[in-house]
Structure 1
Amino acid sequence: MTTSTLPPNTHHGVGVSPGRAAGPVVWVHDRLPDPLPGPAPTDPAAEAARIRPAAEAVSQRLLARAGTADGAAREVLTMTATMATDPSLLGKAEQAVTEQGLPAPRAVFEAAGEFAELLAATGGYLAERARDVLDVRDRLVAELTATEPPGVPELTGPSVLVARDLAPADTAELDPRLVLALVTEEGGPTSHTAILARSLGIPAVVAARGVLATNAAGARVDGAAGTVELLDRTVEPVAATHDRAEWNGVGTTADGHRVKLLANIGSAADAQAGIAAHAEGSGLFRTEFCFLDAAAEPDIETQRNAYAAVLEPFAGKPVVVRTLDAGADKPLPFLAIGEEPNPALGVRGLRVAFDRPDLLDRQLTAIAAAAAQTGAEVSVMAPMVATAQEATWFAERARAAGLERVGVMVETPAAALTAEALLDEVDFVSIGTNDLAQYTFAADRMTGALATLNNPWQPALLRLIAHLARAGLEKAKPVGICGEAAADPHLAGVLTGLGATSLSMNPKALPTVGATLAKHPLQTWQEAAQAALEARTPTEARQAADHL
């Protein structure tokens, strides 16, 4: 086995941000002690009245931090601030004070804990937000008890952070000059922590089981291989080393084979970050931002203005707009879908529109209007399509709204296995590797114990992608990648070797991916792709590319 050459004190996880670094370990304590129930308050109404001012104070501090951040960090801090003042969470905590006689800190603790458990049990996107809720809980409890919230301690020098998990709001403000690498025992490759680590260029390994059972003083981290060597002695800090080179802004292999390098965006700030990173366009414009805090469906004009603000920086460039990806696993107040026994497998994505086609039609009208207003070369695609019949239904409605170029996301094995039929109905497909992995392996992508199954280097996942790429070549239609897999430089090369025609990713990853792709001709990437397909494990598949 290849792992036999590694030191015995090496832990394996999932590499989510490439680069190698070494340095002294700083342990991050991830939570406060549980507040005790304590005696019932003598004035329950006054005790309950403490909760909302505390929440407002927490929210304002987070918003102030968001004001000095940008890109993904700003988005995460703003979202956490909004969550801190969530009416349903605060209302439940207040009710626990007035009806159960709990002190405010304990009431917040229990209300947020129940909410987080519900999200974790739901699976999918909402399970990823459970960690955010626990972060908000601890901040509210700290505010109510006048104590310091848990989190990253003040660093006195360059360090490797090791934690059970990191709160996204803490990750958003890490200083790459002091944080050499991140290691967590829990978490998954699509968590906010992983995404932010990539955006900051900090090597990171998640789901490294067993790291908390050590008393390491130093660590060596390989964020590409997903390995963490823990040492009982300190080591001199070694800043992160990346396989970086200059990129000219055009996605090509060394022999000139073109692969468009695009940005995943979900806000106007993301769009600006994409342009700053020389993105050739956007392969995934998430439109959920327009709906998340809305008590009622935004009207067409409101949607048009919101979409236009994001599309405007991409005037003259291609942008693929994904229609609303919501449902029971991503609840919106005005949808009223209700509870489902397994929301990740329930009414979500395009399935919502089958019962509410008017909702989809209004969104498509707004997207078409925003495209005409801004001059962006807009295509539209639907999420969670499973059959060619569903693709046809969506394509007809999109074209009726004036959107000529129509595609679908491939996130289910059913869609991947019927690629030829799908491509007969639409102009392109885009592979969402995060969900495709989750559904292929029947493994919740936020469960740390299953993170290896959601590793995008899994040979089974690569074989599905290869099948889709062959179908695209046969039908002379594009097959793009818009999942987090595209942000891994060597995996991006392998995906190109498999036949992907475009790669869309976090804007921060674009220069490294572009430079790495240009190092080798297409044939070399094709050989690496074939070796990865024939591998037995994700580790062997990665080694096939790393040893070019």
Structure 2
Amino acid sequence: MTATRLVTGIGVSPGRVVGPAALLPDPVHEPPAGARLRPGADVEAAAGQVADAAERVRAALDAAADAATGESAELLHATATMAADPSLLSDAQARVRTEHLVPERAVWEAADEVAAQLAALGGYLAERVRDVTDVRDRLVAELTGRPVPGLPTRAEPYVLVAHDLAPALTATLDPARVLAVVTVAGGPTSHTAILARARGIPAVVAADVADVVDGVVLLVDGAAGRVTVAPADEDVARALAPTSAVRTFDGDGRTADGVRVELLANVGDPAEAEAAAASGAQGVGLFRTEFAFLDRTEAPTVAEQVAAYGRVLAAFDGRKVVVRTLDAGADKPLPFLHAAPETNPALGVRGLRIAGEHPDVVEDQLTAIAAAAAAHPGTTTWVMAPMVATVEEAEGFVAACARHGLGTAGVMVEVPSAALLAGPVLAHAAFASIGTNDLVQYTMAADRLLGAVARLSDAWQPAVLRLVEATCAGGAAQGRPVGVCGEAAADPALAVVLVGLGVTSLSMTPRALPDVAAVLATTPSDVCRRLARLAVESSCADHARAVVRDALPVLAELGL
């Protein structure tokens, strides 16, 4: 009988569930080294098998992407593109032709070569190694007739336990089958965290569950970041005791004493817009436009962009939509914009910096946004630029927007320099929106996708909260609103702190709106300010989180 024990990790998606552990199946085994074709075998036919397998894998991933939306679709399409990577396929085929390796061994060695090159480059590119091995396993499975790596098959819903999850696999999680996700690796802003939250699946990452056995009962608290292995019956009953009726959002964000807080939705593509509008969101605080540029060898035309953006604006007629211009680079590389690899893409040409090398791309996008806004006058359209680091960049972007008739132009605050210069920046920009995912990464020097530094990659870090406070102070000095559109906004406890620091709007996955609204509605603004001070003055992220959660009994009452 397994002894009861408590494992503490990082809670990244709220919810309490109990279910049997289901371990992610072992990866595809490495084909034997030196495995070669039989003498006299058709070498060209064997090389052709590599291309055929790659096409089948690509098609399957693209089909899954077409059935998904937002981040899930983007990640599946990105993995599909990697499956058809010409350099990987040509290397594998060359190994078949010159060394007479069997196709599966040739693919394995070619993928290992690509992975080694990415690992040596470091930074974001090193994180792509996980994607390469995922594609490698899919290709080898296809070539050997084995099941494609995927989720466990069980008769009952389960808690998925894994060292880590490939983005393509995370994107296909079915909430009806997967009660919760617990991983050894990963951080608060990893793809696993973002997608689990978007799909409403409780999740805990960076948890020591490597020795958990298949079938053992797990009690997962995705808000508190706790996993109880083999919990006692009374613990299960207490954790799953009914808290309240299913919550909805009435479209009016406010604190207990009536201070208004705009509660907005993050939208990744037009397919998400209608559901976000139906959720009661007061508007869109972050409309990511990258979807229009993915899987393309050249930028979309202005007409294509007008049509795509117009679908989102139409869904939010009578409300506000904040459109973010293209944020390519780092974890969203686009071949037609980034021809040469960068040593450290996270610190390279990304976001607004693209305008310096490809001004036509940004100019066309502003033209399209302006045309879409003109076609939907009932929607209030704001525009903001990502990765603004200087006052000059803010001034230049605002001027560019003005030339296109876009009168409300703002900036993303994602790097410390923008937070520290918030006053001068907002002397030009009409508003600021804090992207906490990147702000954490750049403040803490911790790759937000790297599990090894997950404890640093946390929006509760007091240093990050001080930068949020500085941004809000700069906004107040200029009479400009400051919002948050990173994953931090979806954490009900952290939302209280952000409002206490002076944030006026919170934009999040639509699923989080009812929980955030419910907690704010029971918390007076003076309590928000008091808890914000406690968090800012804490010594570490864990202490900040604990002291705030302990002061908000409503979280336990609501099961958060």
TM-score in same-fold range (> 0.5): yes
* Partner residue in 1 for 2:386: 383
* One-letter amino acid of the counterpart of residue 40, structure 1: R
Using the TM superposition, name which of 222-231 and 247-256 deviates more: 222-231
The answer to whether the 8 A contact 2:256-2:523 is kept is: yes
Q: Give 3-state SS (helix, strand or coil) of 1:492's partner.
A: helix
* One-letter amino acid of the counterpart of residue 322, structure 2: V
Query: Partners of 1:203 and 1:291 in 2: how far apart?
Result: 31
The answer to whether the 8 A contact 2:4-2:231 is kept is: no
* Aligned 1:180-219 pairs, distance under 5 A: 180-208=179-207, 210-215=208-213, 217-219=216-218
Query: Partners of 1:299 and 1:74 in 2: how far apart?
Result: 21
How far residue 225 of structure 1 moved from its aligned partner, in angstroms, is 2.1
Match of 2:31 among 35, 59, 63: 35
* Partner residue in 2 for 1:439: 442
Match of 2:531 among 508, 528, 533: 528
* Partner residue in 2 for 1:4: none
How far residue 88 of structure 1 moved from its aligned partner, in angstroms, is 4.2
Using the TM superposition, name which of 29-38 and 499-508 deviates more: 29-38
Q: Using a 3 Å threshold, how does the CA distance of structure 1 residues 533 and 242 change in structure 2: closer, same or farther?
A: farther
Query: Partners of 1:291 and 1:395 in 2: how far apart?
Result: 23
Query: Partners of 1:69 and 1:492 in 2: how far apart?
Result: 28
* Aligned 1:372-521 pairs, distance under 5 A: 372-375=374-377, 376-521=379-524
Query: Partners of 2:318 and 2:119 in 1: how far apart?
Result: 41
Q: Deviations over 1:16-69 (max 9, x none)?
A: 101223333222135211122443333332112112322332334345545655
* Partner residue in 2 for 1:348: 350
Q: Deviations over 1:421-453 (max 9, x none)?
A: 111111011111011101101111111110011
The answer to whether the 8 A contact 1:30-1:166 is kept is: no
* Partner residue in 2 for 1:284: 286
The answer to whether the 8 A contact 2:288-2:323 is kept is: yes
Identical counterparts, % of pairs = 54
How far residue 239 of structure 1 moved from its aligned partner, in angstroms, is 6.0
The answer to whether the 8 A contact 2:92-2:106 is kept is: yes
Q: Give 3-state SS (helix, strand or coil) of 1:141's partner.
A: helix
* Partner residue in 1 for 2:542: 539
Query: Partners of 2:113 and 2:242 in 1: how far apart?
Result: 42
* One-letter amino acid of the counterpart of residue 204, structure 2: V
Query: Partners of 1:315 and 1:116 in 2: how far apart?
Result: 46
Q: Using a 3 Å threshold, how does the CA distance of structure 1 residues 110 and 273 change in structure 2: closer, same or farther?
A: farther
Using the TM superposition, name which of 362-371 and 300-309 deviates more: 300-309
Q: Deviations over 1:81-126 (max 9, x none)?
A: 4443344443343333334433222232333344455556666666
Q: Give 3-state SS (helix, strand or coil) of 1:212's partner.
A: coil
Query: Partners of 2:385 and 2:70 in 1: how far apart?
Result: 25
Q: Structure 1-normalised TM-score?
A: 0.91
How far residue 214 of structure 1 moved from its aligned partner, in angstroms, is 4.6
The answer to whether the 8 A contact 1:264-1:507 is kept is: yes
Query: Partners of 1:388 and 1:503 in 2: how far apart?
Result: 24
The answer to whether the 8 A contact 1:14-1:455 is kept is: no
Query: Partners of 1:240 and 1:274 in 2: how far apart?
Result: 29
* Partner residue in 1 for 2:44: 45
* Partner residue in 2 for 1:149: 148
Match of 2:9 among 13, 33, 44: 13
Q: Deviations over 1:387-422 (max 9, x none)?
A: 101111111111111111111111111111111111
How far residue 461 of structure 1 moved from its aligned partner, in angstroms, is 0.7
Using the TM superposition, name which of 70-79 and 136-145 deviates more: 70-79
Query: Partners of 1:171 and 1:22 in 2: how far apart?
Result: 20
The count of corresponding residues between Structure 1 and Structure 2 is 541
What are structure 1's unaligned runs of at least 5 residues? 1-6
Q: Using a 3 Å threshold, how does the CA distance of structure 1 residues 122 and 470 change in structure 2: closer, same or farther?
A: farther
What are structure 2's unaligned runs of at least 5 residues? 553-560
Q: Using a 3 Å threshold, how does the CA distance of structure 1 residues 18 and 359 change in structure 2: closer, same or farther?
A: same
* Partner residue in 1 for 2:169: 170
* Partner residue in 2 for 1:230: 229
Query: Partners of 1:379 and 1:512 in 2: how far apart?
Result: 26
Q: Give 3-state SS (helix, strand or coil) of 1:425's partner.
A: coil
* Partner residue in 2 for 1:313: 315
Using the TM superposition, name which of 309-318 and 467-476 deviates more: 309-318
* One-letter amino acid of the counterpart of residue 272, structure 2: D
How far residue 366 of structure 1 moved from its aligned partner, in angstroms, is 1.2
* One-letter amino acid of the counterpart of residue 144, structure 1: L
Using the TM superposition, name which of 58-67 and 180-189 deviates more: 58-67
* One-letter amino acid of the counterpart of residue 284, structure 1: L
The answer to whether the 8 A contact 1:20-1:241 is kept is: no
Query: Partners of 2:107 and 2:36 in 1: how far apart?
Result: 14
Q: Using a 3 Å threshold, how does the CA distance of structure 1 residues 519 and 434 change in structure 2: closer, same or farther?
A: same
How far residue 231 of structure 1 moved from its aligned partner, in angstroms, is 3.9
The answer to whether the 8 A contact 1:221-1:227 is kept is: yes
* Partner residue in 1 for 2:304: 302
Using the TM superposition, name which of 459-468 and 171-180 deviates more: 171-180
Query: Partners of 2:386 and 2:137 in 1: how far apart?
Result: 34
Query: Partners of 2:274 and 2:127 in 1: how far apart?
Result: 26
Q: Structure 2-normalised TM-score?
A: 0.89
The answer to whether the 8 A contact 1:37-1:102 is kept is: no
How far residue 336 of structure 1 moved from its aligned partner, in angstroms, is 4.2
Q: Using a 3 Å threshold, how does the CA distance of structure 1 residues 74 and 354 change in structure 2: closer, same or farther?
A: closer
* Aligned 1:132-147 pairs, distance under 5 A: 132-147=131-146
The answer to whether the 8 A contact 2:202-2:220 is kept is: yes
Using the TM superposition, name which of 390-399 and 107-116 deviates more: 107-116
Query: Partners of 2:66 and 2:338 in 1: how far apart?
Result: 33
Query: Partners of 2:202 and 2:485 in 1: how far apart?
Result: 21
Q: Give 3-state SS (helix, strand or coil) of 1:340's partner.
A: coil
Q: Deviations over 1:182-231 (max 9, x none)?
A: 110112222222122112222111122x3214548333322122222334
How far residue 297 of structure 1 moved from its aligned partner, in angstroms, is 2.4
The answer to whether the 8 A contact 2:71-2:268 is kept is: no
* Partner residue in 2 for 1:108: 107
* Partner residue in 1 for 2:328: 326
Q: Using a 3 Å threshold, how does the CA distance of structure 1 residues 312 and 82 change in structure 2: closer, same or farther?
A: farther
